[in-house]
Amino acid sequence: MSDHAFWDDARRYLVRYGGGFTPEIIARAEGSYVWTESGRALLDFTSGQMSAILGHAHPEIVETVARGTATLDHLFSGMLSRPVVDLARRLAATLPSPLEKVLLLSTGAESNEAALRLAKLVTGGFEVVSFARSWHGMTQAAAAATYSSGRKGYGPAPVGNIAIPTPNAYRPDFLTPEGGLDWRRQLDHAFDLVDAQSVGALAACLVEPILSSGGVLEPPPGYLAALRVKCDEREMLLILDEAQTGLCRTGNWYAFERDGVVPDIITLSKTLGAGLPLAAVVTSAELEERAHERGFLFFTTHVSDPMVAAVGNTVLDVLQRDRLDLRAAELGERLRAGLLGLAGRHEVVGDVRGRGLLQGLELVRDRTTKEGADALGAAVTRRCLDLGLHMNVVQLPGMGGTFRIAPPLTSSEAEIDLGVEILDRALGEVVSEAGATLRE
């Protein structure tokens, strides 16, 4: 099939599900690169869909999948296999007490759906609090708790969902005397609004420790601990969605470790399967027992599937053996230093933020006003692709173009440096070509 026929078929037969498609036909992927059919190598600074933490086609993952498809791929959902129980035990060992009960599923949305269903059952409530820049998935309860995009045109969301302000140090809404973000006052105000809207049926607060799709926004140190107190005061559960931050990406095994907070429930996905569809819900034995007594039901086609559970075990093998938490911290420092260098050379770089190998770089039209630069972000993304770097830019109203930069944890120092160099060149060329029109 010719390239022309391929794109004709794509336009004719594919449902468009958000944004446009990258104008390249991808033929294969390995390590930190994907290759087009034309033979171009693209350095992948998004780890696929923020998932392939071990890079593409990691030989141990390939071996596990080959063995699994040949011996134990899929079972009736009521059957158990050793890979499933092994992964549950090993995941629990990576988490603080009392998190030890594991439900293995397929996607991040599904894991959040299950977590919210469990929380509603054990609390008897139905109200869910989430950040106004959140992204938790596209299934019903997860989508209802997602506010960054995708809410318009689908009719009413389920009742009981409440948004609270997202702490954003670069664009503070509550100010300290020094002009920084007064996050404690913001949080107090947020829960004043929660209390005003609640009908007395609060079930859970579902948040990301670092909001990725919302613009790589990290709550300040101490925020999650204060949020934990707010939840406890209202007898609601704290659910942390670590789809993109869990399993070493931030330089810690879990992003919440920095704040010394233990959630009631944690959800994992993307990074757990290193690119394959594997997700998990982890909670305490006490909450699991209460849910079970009340008839908790989440019986799905691919719950406790053995092959992807075997992949999850291999992911843990590699992360632990190769100390990829430390590697992510080291490479993250290198990446951040490179991005700060770009900020020093390009006036359009307004902010650099993030942790480990999840970094955000926000473009602005003016550093003083912090006016967003959506068009510039899109243009730089296109130029990076021309130069051999795949990037992802978030474009949300009022935020400008923010790059989500998440290379594989197995990246080399040279690959990190190359990505920064290409981004540097793309920024320079696009700004130069645009000239004064960027500020008109």
| 376 closest CA partner among 361, 355, 390, 359 | 361
323: annotated active-site residue: no
- Single out the catalytic residue among 182, 241, 305, 374: 241
- Residue 241, classified by CB atoms within 10 Å of its CB into exposed (0-12), middle (13-18) or buried (19+), is buried
- Single out the catalytic residue among 101, 133, 270, 365: 270
Cβ proximity of 166 and 399 under 8 Å: no
CA distance 287 to 203: 13
208: annotated active-site residue: yes
CA distance 372 to 401: 7
241: annotated active-site residue: yes
244: annotated active-site residue: yes
- Single out the catalytic residue among 110, 113, 234, 244: 244
Q: How many CA atoms lie within 13 A of 151 on its CB side?
A: 18
- Single out the catalytic residue among 234, 249, 327, 404: 404
11: annotated active-site residue: no
Cα 239–241–247 angle (5° rounding)?
125
- Single out the catalytic residue among 44, 127, 208, 351: 208
- Single out the catalytic residue among 44, 110, 120, 135: 135
24: annotated active-site residue: no
**Would you please indicate which residues are annotated as catalytic (active-site) residues?**
135, 208, 241, 244, 270, 404
